[in-house]
Amino acid sequence: MDDFLNLKKIQEKLASNKWNLYEYQKEFLETQSLKKFRQILITSEIGTGKTITAFLPFFSGKLEKKKRKVIYISPLKSINTTLKERLTELSSFLGISCRIEKRTSDISYTIKKKQLFHIPDVLLTTPESLALMIANPYAKTLLEDTDYLIIDELNEFINSKRGDQLALAISRINAINSKFEIFGISGTTSNKAYLLDWLSINGKTKIIDNKFKKKIKIKVVCSKNIPTSGHSSYCSLKLIKKIISNKRSIIFVNTRAQAEILFKNLFLLFTDNHKIGLHHGSLSKEHRQKTEEQFVNEKISTIISTSSLELGIDFKNIDQVINIGTPKSINRLIQRTGRSHHFFSGVPTSYLIPTNKFEFLECIASKKLAEERKFDFIESKNGSKDVLCQHLLLLACNAGLNPIKTFQEVKKSYAYSKLNYEEFLEIINFIKDGGYILNNYKKWNKLNIDEYGILKINSLKNRIKTLMNIGTIIDNSNLKIKLKNGKVLGFVDESFIMSIKCGDVFTFSGLNLICNSISSEEISVDIVKKKSQKTPIYWGGNLPLNQNISDEILNSFVDKKNYPLEIINFICKQTKVSSIPKKDEVLIENFPYSNGQYLCIFTFMGKQTNQTLSELIISFLKTKYNILTSDYSINEYSIALFVNKNANFKLNFLDSFFAKKKINIDFLKTSIAKKIFKEVSLITGLIDKKNTRKQNFVSSDIIFDTLFKYQPDHILLKITEEEIKRFFSEMTQIDFLFKKKIILNKIKKPSPFSETLIYQKEKHYINAHNPDNLFDFFNN
Amino acid sequence: MYIKKKINNFTVIFNPSGAIFILELSILVISDLHIGKSHSIAKYGNFLPPFDIDDTIGKIKSNIDHYNPKKIISLGDSFHESDTLNIISENHIKNLNELFKNREVYLIDGNHDAKLKCKEKLNAIFKESLILNNFNFTHIKNSQSIKDLFEFSGHFHPKVTITSNKIKYKFKCFILGENFCILPSFGTYTGGLNINSDVLKKILPKKKKVIAIGKNKLLEI
């Protein structure tokens, strides 16, 4: 009853300030006050104040002068400044004094230390920073005293390794804190049940679903000279200029390199005082903050950004959002669109500008699905065990871990509910001394066991090393770009060293920089006027396309009459030189290229099916016809295999493949195995993210081969196999594909569709496993 | 698959394992075994699969079984640390000695193992460098060629990049000059240095042959 009175109080108080709560906000407050559920999920569309909603119980308690502590978790690397401001504003509104502080990698060590002893009322943090608190003995009080755990943008990372990391941290808090409640906040998705299960650590989770649908406007515009392939925005510059002139806009691009290039080009195009800013995750913290501030103060009117500004940012007075290329997911498109007119009555508007002709069709499909609110399906995922390795090490860094108790603790989390004890012990043995059949490393054991069976890290050196390696995002961009005066401009991918030499000019942070000296840690530069020739390319810049978009593209071929002339011509040309696949067909194109030939297969069945199919076809061609594939690329709708030029493809021998019924995949022998193993090695701490002793470097490919040869049932390979499986589809999907009709078109050169595919950057090499095949390929 | 070359009127056979066999002299040459590297890394808390020593020894053994050499020469960095012989298991040392039995084994000093402790544990002769029949065996390539001598060396772990369909593939390789040959690293856990890196560019002549190593095949470039 007491809480119910508070509820009235906060409503009155807010109403007296001309702020009436929405129905869903009232429903949430009421449900929460009844204390029947320890977890509540709030789902709502953009621009309806759902983040603030989750803070209402906190404010309500504060009004009663009750002690209330909140930990707020956001998937963003740098939590935006605006949330803190809005919370501060609201608390002064309500006449409450409270301390709101951030705790992220951008915050200094001294402040972080202070927070543990002088605990703020609201702590804004990230999954990584929360994980580090699990290892810190002094953070115990803070975690024990937390009343509310708020998780924002849950749908964005629930089924990723960052989500697993958070799930494990929550399982730890749950073990030491018996009162805390969790409020999950999510955009609308097409499968809420998974989100609810994920949150349910103490009984069932209640959902508060705001069904209100906001109107959004999405326009697809394309320039007359749009190219057939590539992802350059160059041809659309004039179009972009026209759209952004005299308006306030955010331009979203999909990769950091695209952001740099577009910034440079637009900068040159505007001679008047239309100011543009640049924002992406590799720029220095100072640069990012400065850009955000300038945009808020309206000193700049256009900001070019990667996904770094996508979530939760609340800039006022944004007229429109511009997407260069599709955002690849319907939720992301709605999210980005929602950045404009980000208040209740505005109509969010966004433009989709394709960078190539095929992408135009992707844009049309995305627009249609977004307008129909066909939200992304969040694929559910079991907790990754490499992340569990990290978590166990964190526990060992603190008060230590008791295998049996910790096992039960971890299993309470939905993501890890299927864990079995034998495997759990194998993981513990792995972190202790490697857990190999040759018990060689006893003397370098990392963990000590005390008389009660508690495992603890045994040295400061190992503790520091563990904490340094925390995190599940594998990012190679840790090469500093430094000016002569010592100012760090940001970071680029380590591989950039290979493509640059002293005297080269490249673009970074919107500047033309000349390279003075290169070391393994930094590139020392000067700002020059000279034109640049290069832009750093970053690892992992490609966003996966959501399945429903790829389905919709098939439809988009049909109603082409409203498309611009360039696109109609593009589709007509494809029809002329090859054909357009129908829904019950699989189109295969075959043409010579470079020192081999391409086999392009258009399935429109999603990345997982294509991954599975390519793996199967490659081994089929090799074993049955001795046809070698040297590399392949896949995307959501198609596969491109690069095979040796002597092979002569006929419809009937591919038929014999499609007639096949039972097929098994040996996951550890697939072409992506080594790539996945590398990620697992980095996350489990088998190899360090930052290697400081170069002479002790061993490539993860060699480690994989050695382990596979001598101990194929080792836990690391089991973990790797589980992770590989995620990239493959169920066999039923493949069966479905086998029922389709095969169309084989032999052509002289790449068709318009194939061209888009074969110029894709991300390629897989097949022969990483056996270089001899590759030698045969060269000799062919 | 092997590649045969006539050098100083002797038949030199290049083996895809990274070894060289000089036929008429019955000498097996290997380089940069880096035995004990996994232990050295484990010391810092990274527990790599400890099978590298068995694997490296296994590779030496298959070469010995194949060629039955009278002499074995390892061109330095046979052991990763000066302490290695105290750290690795006695079994591994036994296995090595087994291979060395009834053969003349020369272990050339490398930068990693010049100060190797407990050398007496091995039935081998330790040398700074060695000259046999107009062949010079040393760890690091001499900058000036010695008159009439053909030199075998290691140290750099050379690798070559081959580009196909815009993808860069890297392979360990032999580098063959007019009067020298740099061997690839033989040890399982050894990495490599690109032949186009500044370090190697400085010491290599323009005119040279490169033999890339696959699994069981070689490719001459």
B93: domain CATH number is 3.60.21
Minimal Cα distance from B211: which residue of A?
A775
The dihedrals phi and psi of A456, each to the nearest 5 degrees, come to -135, 150
B37: closest chain A residue by CA: A696
Lowest mean pLDDT of A523-532, A717-726, B174-183, B208-217, name the range. Answer: A523-532
Same fold, A2-209 and A217-362: yes
pLDDT at A541: 44
pLDDT reading at A684 higher than 90: yes
The pLDDT assigned to A196 comes to 96
**CA triplet A425, A726, A161: central angle to 5 degrees?**
65
Residues of chain A in contact with residue B51, where contact means CB-CB under 8 angstroms, are 436, 438, 706-707, 709-711
Please tell me the pTM assigned to this model. 0.90
Q: How confident is the model at residue A2 (pLDDT cuts 50, 70, 90)?
A: very low
Question: What one-letter code names the amino acid at A184?
Answer: G
pLDDT band at residue B71 under the 50/70/90 scheme: very high
A772 touches chain B (CB under 8 A): yes
Query: Where is average pLDDT lowest: A341-345, A530-534, B38-42, B76-80?
Result: A341-345
- Specify which residues B218 forms β-bridges with: B213
pLDDT recorded at residue A174: 96
Provide, as residue numbers in chain B, all residues whose Cβ is less than 8 Å from the Cβ of A462: 45
Task: For residue B216, list chain A residues with Cβ-Cβ distance below 8 A.
Answer: 772
| pLDDT greater than 70 at residue A26 | yes
Say whether pLDDT at B21 is over 60. Answer: yes
Given a cut of 60, whether residue A312 has pLDDT beyond it is no
pLDDT the model gives residue A65: 86
CB contact under 8 A, A706 and B42: no
pLDDT tens readout for residues A425-476: 999 999 999 999 987 788 888 999 999 999 999 999 999 888 888 888 766 6
Hey, is the C-beta of A687 within 8 angstroms of any chain B C-beta? yes
Report the CATH architecture of A217-362.
3-Layer(aba) Sandwich (3.40)
Determine contact: A465 vs chain B, CB below 8 A.
Answer: yes
Q: Strand, helix or coil at B132?
A: strand
> How far, in Å, CA of A610 to CA of A606, rounded?
6
What is the pLDDT, as a whole number, of residue B157? 96
Q: Which A positions 373-402 lie with beta carbon below 8 A of chain B?
A: none
Interface check A759 vs B, CB under 8 A:
no
Instruction: Decide if pLDDT at A304 tops 80.
Output: yes
Assigned token pair, B127: 């040398």
Q: What is the mean pLDDT of chain A?
A: 86
In degrees, to the nearest 5, what angle opens at C-alpha A179 toward C-alphas A175 and A181?
Answer: 100
Cβ-defined contact of A770 to B214 (cutoff 8 Å): yes
pLDDT tier at A265, thresholds 50, 70, 90: confident
Contact B55 A706 (CB under 8 A): yes
Cβ pair B213, B14 in contact under 8 A: no
Angle between helices A565-577 and A357-371 (to 10 degrees): 120
- Is pLDDT at B34 greater than 90 in this prediction? yes
- How many angstroms separate the CA atoms of B53 and A662, rounded? 41
Mutate to test the interface with B, among A716, A772, A776 (most CBs of B within 10 A): A772
Is A209's pLDDT higher than 70? yes
Provide the shortest C-alpha distance from residue A421 to chain B (in Å).
Answer: 22
CB distance from A442 to chain B under 8 Å?
no
Distance from the Cα of A430 to chain B's closest Cα (Å) equals 8
Q: Which residues on chain B are in Cβ contact (under 8 Å) with A709? A: 51, 55
Closest CB to B215 among A693, A765, A772: A772
Q: Find chain A residues with C-beta within 8 A of B47's C-beta.
A: 430, 433-436, 441, 444, 686
User: Could you report the per-residue pLDDT of B135-176, keeping only the tens digit for each?
Assistant: 999 999 998 888 889 999 999 999 999 888 877 888 999 999
CB contact under 8 A, B41 and A685: no
Cβ within 8 Å of B, A 618-677: 630-631, 642
Phi then psi for B112, rounded to 5 degrees?
Answer: -80, -30
Mutate to test the interface with B, among A761, A762, A775 (most CBs of B within 10 A): A775
Question: What average pLDDT does range A170-188 have in this prediction?
Answer: 94
Question: If you average pLDDT over each of A180-184, A282-286, A514-518, A616-620, which comes out highest?
Answer: A180-184
ipTM for the predicted complex comes to: 0.95
The enclosing H or E element of B4 equals strand B3-7
The predicted pLDDT at position A288 comes to: 85
Q: Is residue A344 over pLDDT 60?
A: no
- In the structure, what pLDDT confidence band is assigned to residue A731 with cuts at 50, 70 and 90? confident
**Contact at CB, B42 and A465, closer than 8 angstroms:** no
CATH of domain A2-209: 3.40.50.300
Q: How many CB atoms lie within 10 A of CB A728?
A: 21
CB B80 within 8 A of CB B36: yes
What percent of chain A is predicted at pLDDT more than 70? Answer: 91
Q: Does A436 touch chain B (CB under 8 A)?
A: yes
A778 in B contact zone (CB under 8 Å): yes
CB–CB contact B50 A434 (8 Å)? yes
Domain residue limits at B206: 3-220
Q: In whole angstroms, give the CA distance from residue A428 to residue A455.
A: 9
**pLDDT value at A538 more than 70:** no
Ranges of each domain in chain A: 2-209, 217-362, 385-472+674-723, 479-527, 578-665+728-779
Region A274-299: mean pLDDT is: 86
Q: How confident is the model at residue A80 (pLDDT cuts 50, 70, 90)?
A: low
Residue A780: pLDDT band with limits 50, 70, 90: low
Phi and psi, residue B162, nearest 5°: -115, 130
Q: For residue A1, what pLDDT is reported?
A: 39
Cβ-based burial of A290 (10 A; exposed 0-12, middle 13-18, buried ≥19):
middle
Q: How many domains is chain B built from?
A: 1
3-state secondary structure of A641: strand
Dist CA A260 CA A274 (whole Å): 18
| Contact residues on chain B for A776, CB-CB shorter than 8 A | 217
| Three-state secondary structure of A680-727 | HHHHHCCCCCCCCCHHHCCCHHHHHHHHHHHCCCCHHHHHHHHHHHCC
Instruction: Decide if A436 and B166 are in contact by the 8 Å CB cutoff.
Output: no
- By mean pLDDT, which of A116-125, A399-408, A727-736, B87-96 is the weakest? A727-736
Q: How many CB pairs under 8 A join A and B?
A: 122
A168-172, A502-506, A589-593, A613-617 — which is least confidently predicted?
A: A502-506
Chain CA centroid to CA A139, Å: 28
Identify the sign of the CA torsion A575, A580, A585, A588. Answer: positive
CA dihedral (B13, B14, B15, B21) positive or negative? positive
* A775 contacts chain B (CB < 8 A): yes
Average pLDDT estimate for A356-382: 88
Burial of A712 (0-12, 13-18, 19+ CB in 10 A): exposed
Average pLDDT over every residue of A390-416:
95
pLDDT at B70 over 90: yes
Q: Which residues of A402-412 are buried (b: 16+ CB within 10 A; e: fewer)?
A: ebeebbebbbb
The residue among A666 and A693 whose pLDDT is bigger is A666
- DSSP type of residue A171: H
- Whether A343 has its CB under 8 Å from any CB of chain B: the answer is no
**Average pLDDT, rounded, for chain B:** 94
Cα→Cα distances A220→A355, A371, A545, Å: 12, 13, 18
pLDDT at A546: 67
Q: What is the pLDDT of residue A111?
A: 95
